[in-house]
Amino acid sequence: MRGNPQNPMTSAAHDHLRRALEQAGWRYTRQRQEVYDYLCSVACHPTAEGVYRAVRSHIPKISLATVYKALEALASAGLVTKLPDVSGAARFDGRTEAHYHFRCARTGQVQDLPVPYSPNLLDRLDPALIDTLRGQGFHVTGHSLELFGYFERG
Ligand SMILES: [Zn+2]
């Protein structure tokens, strides 16, 4: 099915991405489509370099700078999520709805936790937490949860 511009599902997906990018003030390009498609197809939350290596198999002439720009465009349009990493390269996630992660301390690889997102998690930690923080002048707008550890080597 790849490479068939008449495929209706592919066209609909391309239209969705084109509209979302253009609404955010970005141009739609085939490179951005490839980067987006790749991020939505993998569970590993790759770095920009990882995206670059994968997308190069479809677009051999794409540059790392173009991949960085595509990731910036997609993230700022709210189409993908950028996961900052204090000690290494940022990773990118094709899922934009709230969810949790676990991260391998050896490889840096990030995956989704197989549990539903809980908007009431803070209440369960302490029902007064949000009000307590508000009393200190801090307004809670959300939370994240990331487990860290490592995979045992076989
Ligand atoms: Zn994720």
Q: Which residues surround ligand 1, an ion (CB under 5 A)?
A: 93, 95, 112
Calculate mean pLDDT across residues 68-97.
Answer: 92
Per-residue confidence (pLDDT) for residue 126, from 0 to 100: 95
Distance of CA 42 from the midpoint of ligand 1 (Å): 10
Give per-residue pLDDT as tens, 37-71: 999 999 989 999 999 999 999 999 999 999 999 99
pLDDT at 4 exceeding the cut of 70: no
Calculate mean pLDDT across residues 101-119.
Answer: 92
Per-residue confidence (pLDDT) for residue 38, from 0 to 100: 96
Mapped onto helix, strand or coil, the DSSP state of residue 23 is helix
| CA dist., res. 111 & res. 104, Å (int) | 9
Give me the sheet containing 101-104, strands edge to edge.
110-112, 101-104, 146-149
134-139: long-range contacts, CB 8 A cutoff, minimum separation 24: none
Per-residue confidence (pLDDT) for residue 45, from 0 to 100: 95
Give per-residue pLDDT as tens, 120-147: 999 999 999 999 999 999 999 888 899 9
Distance of CA 37 from the midpoint of ligand 1 (Å): 15
Distance of CA 117 from the midpoint of ligand 1 (Å): 11
- Compute φ and ψ for 111, nearest 5 degrees: -135, 165
Distance of CA 30 from the midpoint of ligand 1 (Å): 24
Distance of CA 137 from the midpoint of ligand 1 (Å): 31
Per-residue confidence (pLDDT) for residue 154, from 0 to 100: 59
Calculate mean pLDDT across residues 68-93.
Answer: 92
